[in-house]
Amino acid sequence: MKQLVEFRDLCPPGKADTILRTCVARWDEFTYHAKLFYAAWSIPARPTVGFLTKWIDAATDFASKNASEEQNSCALKHETKTMQINVAPVQAAAPKVDHAAQFYADHKKATKQEVQAILDEDC
């Protein structure tokens, strides 16, 4: 009970319930997020309030990103019902030609002695 109170106090006002529900419901995704972006370690296999409290910044960030993703996906679902998407076929682009390489193709390679002479010259 004490851990829940501490967790609630660390959360932004009015967001503790949403953060707790989101992180517990999507525990594997949350722990991956915490490990990847917050360098979390000793990740428990099952949800624990202690881990959420220790990594409160990761939990808050994860819950806020998921809330915005859910809102975007709901809006997208609504739009796809009313929109028709036309896709034009994509044509392959012509290969790029390196004109500088063509210029140097006609020139002979410098010998080792020529390269050494250039390096030994005083500028």
CA-based nearest residue to 11, from 55, 60, 75: 60
Element (H, E) at 34: helix 27-38
Contact call for residues 68 and 23 (beta carbons, < 8 A):
no
b (16+ CB within 10 A) / e for 3-27: eeeebeebbeeebbebbbebbeebb
Length of the chain: 123
Q: Who wins on pLDDT, 73 or 33?
A: 33
For the question of whether the overall pTM of this predicted structure is more than 0.75, the answer is no
Could you tell me the residue ranges of all domains in the chain? 2-82
What's the mean pLDDT in 8-29?
Answer: 94
Per-residue pLDDT tens over the stretch 53-92: 999 999 999 999 987 666 555 554 555 555 556 666 666 6
Distance CA 13, CA 34 (A): 21
